[in-house]
Structure 1
Amino acid sequence: MTNISKNASVLSNISNESASVNKQEPAKKYEFIDDGEYIDGHFLTRIRALRDFDDVKKGDLGGYIESEENLSHEGNCWVYNKARVFQNARVFGNAKIKSFFVDVYGNAQIYGNAIFEGRTLKDNAKLSGNAHVSNAVVIEGNAKIYDNARVTDHAHICDDAVVCDALISGNSYIHSNASLTANEDICDDAYPEFGSEDDYYRDEYYADCEWYYDDDNDSEYENDAA
């Protein structure tokens, strides 16, 4: 009886170990092909789908990544077109990196159902939820874009800025500790550039405006009038 008990224990351990291995190693959904390029000392290789998932078909070519750490084999996440993901950047969940001139690198993360079709996502920036970023947008620093946020055109978001549900467009510049939430729409060449409350009142943000009023020049205007 003792031997039977020991054997049962051994079989149980083997079964648990096998289950653990299977859980840790999902079926691969892409492979690397003989098409690579260097960028800033990092060698990236193009990927090709091994099976159908979401809108990706088996055999479809994807973008370029540095290693399998950059793109998860789980979920429906994918790097499309000729987008590039490298260094410690991670794409997982159902996130999508699209377009032909896109770089995601540093420690940047994109996950959930987020879609990035911007220009650059880098540093420690995070894109998640149902956020959608498009056109020539740059997101860097510790910026976080999530929920149903929409960022487009030539917007630039950096530092510790947070955008949740809001719409950001045009040449808007969101920085410092700015926090934009639902029903806040920032667009075009908004003045001042949005950052901390202190930044809001700094003269430098108005200096380029044609309507900028400078008290120091009052005397010159008065002399001209005289």
Structure 2
Amino acid sequence: MKKYKLTEESMIHKGYTLWRIEHIATGAKGGWVESEKNLSQLGDCMILDNAKVYGDATISDHAIICNEAEIYEQASVYGHARVSEQASVYGNAQVYEKASIKSNAQVHGTAHVKQETTVTTDEHLSDDPSTWNKINSLVSLKLITQHVQAHESQTLYANGRHQIQVQVLLEALDIQGNYISIPSHEIFKNIQWEDENHTPLNDIFLFSDIPGKYVPSLAVENEITEPEISSCLFFLSTTQALGKIKLHARCLMHHKTVSLDKRKEDTTAASTNPQHIVSNSLPIHLVEARTFQQKDITVETIEKRKPDSYNSILKSYYVNFSSSTDSISESTDIQDEYWFNYKQKGNYKACSTTTDNSVRINYWAQFTTTFHITDNWEITITEKNHERSGACFWVYRVWHGALWANHIWLKPMVFNLYDQYGNHVTIKVNVLKDAVLEFIVVSP
């Protein structure tokens, strides 16, 4: 059943023929539409007073358009949103949830206004991508990180692998004073970095817009609900242990209203913040890469008898960081299925191999490998290989076959184990009597 109908009252507005609507249940006159496609017959959405909706714009759900507000082009207003007074929404903009647009505000481009955001006064919000050159001034330039309190330093290990995540938030205005949206890649290439003494840091840090392996508890990018804020994620690493610093962002604005010889940088450093923009800094502690000793690794073993149809034993070794180090095994550079030792003495045969390079515990994971004992005889084993965390090695021993053959070969086996911060320990594997594996730390 329809909730409203088009009356015979019409008007020409900006080249569009608009029709006044009437609420069927009450007979109350409403606002103006170009056709029924502009206002859904479902839900409680309504156009009131002298508000106008035309073009391909749509109003649905429980949205209210009232007073002298206008919605046009391909804009959409839905949810419990409200547009009132002399506000306009156009372009491909979307206003939804409990957002409110009022006064003389204009929302356009591809801007999304949501949640309980209120846009008022004479604000112009657009999410159309703008280049850095369109910025005339900044309202704010802030740095955000996670996992630490505001007064605490975030630790960054100087191993070139550990990264911390820093989110840059800025509010930019064009020469007309309108808020403009800056794409993240434009922010990434224009932001420079300095410490509290204005010493440039771009040669100290390695910057990426893509996270590597060693961003502990990688944070999800903070959701920006204010449409006037542009953001970009930076992932910082370094090889220089400089101690405690305060990280500041800086950037050169074109300031088209300022003569070329008087243009200055905007920065989060308060003493050189000529525009007095809202800003902050981030305390970071750049520390030496962590080193490990023999006592810092542990080895667990699991032995399984007759994992196949032979008289055999499969022994699994799991090499991990000790719990006393607070380090967690994150990765290893072990080569998958690397068979590095074989010994045959009569019918006794022993094979030592890696499984794969995963270090995460997975009770359901299985691994299959084949030992080619002779040209005519091979043994295939399938067993669990991640019952514990850490780098996994297998030693397979079998008593089968001819009694008179003797053969032995050994390849070097050295690998690196990395913790969650990218710190590493180098470990050499020795094969002892009865194919027992010994793991020796060879680098601090």
- Shorter-chain TM-score: what band? 0.5 to 0.7
Residue 173 of structure 1 is matched in structure 2 by: 178
Q: Identify, as 1 or 2, the structure richer in strand.
A: 2
Q: CA offsets, 1:160-181, max 9 Å, x none?
A: 48xxxxxx9xx97322247983
State the match for 2:258 in structure 1: 207
The AA in structure 2 aligned to 1:32 is L
State the AA in 1 paired with 2:179: I
> Residue 73 of structure 1 is aligned with which of 7, 24, 41?
41
Q: 2:3 aligns with which of 19, 24, 29?
A: 29
Counterpart contact for 1:90–1:108, Cα < 8 Å: yes
Runs of at least 5 residues in structure 2 that lack an aligned partner in the other structure: 130-170, 184-221, 233-250, 265-444
Partner Cα separation in structure 2 for residue 33 and residue 180 of structure 1:
44
Which among 40, 49, 62 is matched to residue 30 of structure 2? 62
Structure 1 residues 203, 69: closer, same or farther in 2, change over 3 A? same
What TM-score does the superposition give when structure 1 sets the normalisation length? 0.62
Amino acid aligned to 2:99:
A
Higher RCO structure (Cα 8 Å, ≥6 apart):
2
Pairing 1:108–2:75 present: yes
CA distance in 2, matches of 1:70, 1:63: 11
Assess, with a 3 A threshold, how the Cα gap between structure 1 residues 201 and 59 changes in structure 2: closer, same or farther. Answer: farther
Q: What's the CA shift for 1:148?
A: 1.2
Cα deviation 1:74-116 (Å, max 9, x = unaligned) = 100000110110011000000011112x221111000000001
Aligned to 2:208: none
> Counterpart in 1 of 2:122?
154
Question: In structure 2, what is the equivalent of residue 4 of structure 1?
Answer: none
What's the CA shift string for 1:161-204, capped at 9, x where partnerless?
A: 8xxxxxx9xx973222479835x798xxxxxxx6678xx74232
Q: Deviations over 1:5-34 (max 9, x none)?
A: xxxxxxxxxxxxxxxxxxxxxx11111112
- Indicate whether 1:131 and 2:105 are aligned: no
**Distance change in 2, residues 1:93/1:150 (3 Å):** same
Q: Is contact 2:94–2:113 with CA below 8 Å preserved after alignment?
A: yes
Letter in 1 for 2:258: A
User: Hey, what's the Cα distance between the residues in 2 that align with 1:31 and 1:158?
Assistant: 33
Deviation at 1:205, TM superposition (A): 6.1
Partner SS state of residue 30, structure 2: strand
Q: Match of 1:204, as an amino acid?
A: H
Q: CA deviation at 1:124?
A: 0.4
Alignment gaps of 5+ in structure 1 = 1-26, 52-57, 162-167, 187-193, 217-226
Mapped contact 1:154–1:172 kept (Cα < 8 A): no
In structure 2, give the amino acid aligned to 1:148.
E
Structure 1 residue 140, shift from structure 2 partner: 0.9
Question: 1:215 Cα deviation (Å)?
Answer: 6.0
CA distance in structure 2 between the partners assigned to 1:91 and 1:215 by the alignment: 45
Q: Return the alpha-carbon distance in structure 1 between the equivalents of residues 11 and 108 of structure 2.
A: 24
Aligned: 1:98 with 2:72: no
Say whether 1:120 aligns with 2:88.
Answer: yes
- Return the alpha-carbon distance in structure 2 between the equivalents of residues 155 and 34 of structure 1: 36
Residue type of the partner of 1:175? I
Which 4+ stretches in 1 moved above 6 angstroms?
none
- What's the RMSD between the two structures over aligned residues? 3.2
Q: d(CA) in 2 for partners of 1:153 and 1:180?
A: 24
Taking the aligned partners of 1:119 and 1:214, their CA distance within structure 2 comes to 37
Deviation at residue 35 of structure 1 after TM alignment: 1.3
Q: Indicate if the aligned counterparts of 2:30 and 2:49 stay in contact, CA closer than 8 A.
A: yes
Query: CA 1:92/1:158 → structure 2, altered by over 3 Å: closer, same or farther?
Result: same
Contact 2:82/2:99, CA 8 A, preserved across alignment: yes
% identical equivalent positions: 25
Of 81-90 and 36-45, deviating more is 36-45
Could you tell me how far apart the structure 2 residues matched to 1:93 and 1:103 are? 18
**Local SS of the residue matching 1:34:** strand
Instruction: Using structure 2 for the length normalisation, give the TM-score.
Output: 0.33
User: Aligned pairs, how many?
Assistant: 162
Q: Which residue of 2 is the match for residue 11 of structure 1?
A: none
What is the CA–CA distance in structure 2 between the aligned matches of 1:29 and 1:143, rounded to whole Å? Answer: 30
Quick check: 2:127–2:227 contact (8 Å CA) kept in 1?
no
**Quick check: 2:61–2:80 contact (8 Å CA) kept in 1?**
yes
Would you say the 8 A contact 1:144–1:160 is kept in 2? no
Corresponding residue for 1:14? none
* Aligned-partner Cα distance in 2 for 1:107–1:63: 19
